[in-house]
Amino acid sequence: MPGVRKPTRLKQHGLAIVFAEANHARIHGGLSLACAAAALGRPVRLFFQGEAVCALQVGRHWTGDRAYAASGLATLEAMLKQAFGLGIAVMACESGLHLCGLAPTNVIGGVETGGMVGFLADAREDELVIA
């Protein structure tokens, strides 16, 4: 039919999210974005840099989680479990581990360690978001 455009199928790019600070609301928002994108079938990878690595510490409790849970929202721990369940790759910055005084054995299972250069090399075709 003249004048009617057929929808074009765009190549689906991956989503790479870098967490740059240990801020509860920003990490929660970034994890929400990551989980939503993965649930829609989009490949997602996360990089926790600097102090944000502290969010990956085993048994970490956030003050902000109480208010989120009281409002029916997931805690950061629950969001991270959901991310792993959706197949999202999670990497902790090796320098961030040192900054937070953590050994790789002190972060939640399934987290890889590496650096920004390696993360960006893997994510070169992905859209990049700083959370």
In a domain, residue 70? The reply is yes
How many residues comprise the chain?
Answer: 131
What are the beta bridge partners of residue 17? 46, 129
Q: How many CB atoms lie within 10 A of CB 92?
A: 27
In a domain, residue 49? The reply is yes
In contact, 116 and 94? CB cutoff 8 Å: no
In a domain, residue 2? The reply is no
Q: What is the pLDDT of residue 7?
A: 55
pLDDT in tens, the chain (131 residues): 556 665 555 567 899 999 999 999 999 999 999 999 999 999 999 999 999 999 999 999 898 999 999 999 999 999 999 999 999 999 999 999 999 999 999 999 999 999 999 999 999 999 999 99
In a domain, residue 107? The reply is yes
- Residue 57: domain span: 15-130
Number of structural domains (the chain) is 1
In a domain, residue 27? The reply is yes
Distance of alpha carbon 113 from alpha carbon 86, whole angstroms: 19
Q: What is the pLDDT of residue 12?
A: 74
Q: What CATH number is attached to the domain comprising 90?
A: 3.40.1260.10
Residue 21 has which token pair?
Answer: 């600070």
In a domain, residue 80? The reply is yes
Q: What is the pLDDT of residue 57?
A: 96
- Tracing tokens 């490949």 back to the chain, one arrives at 43
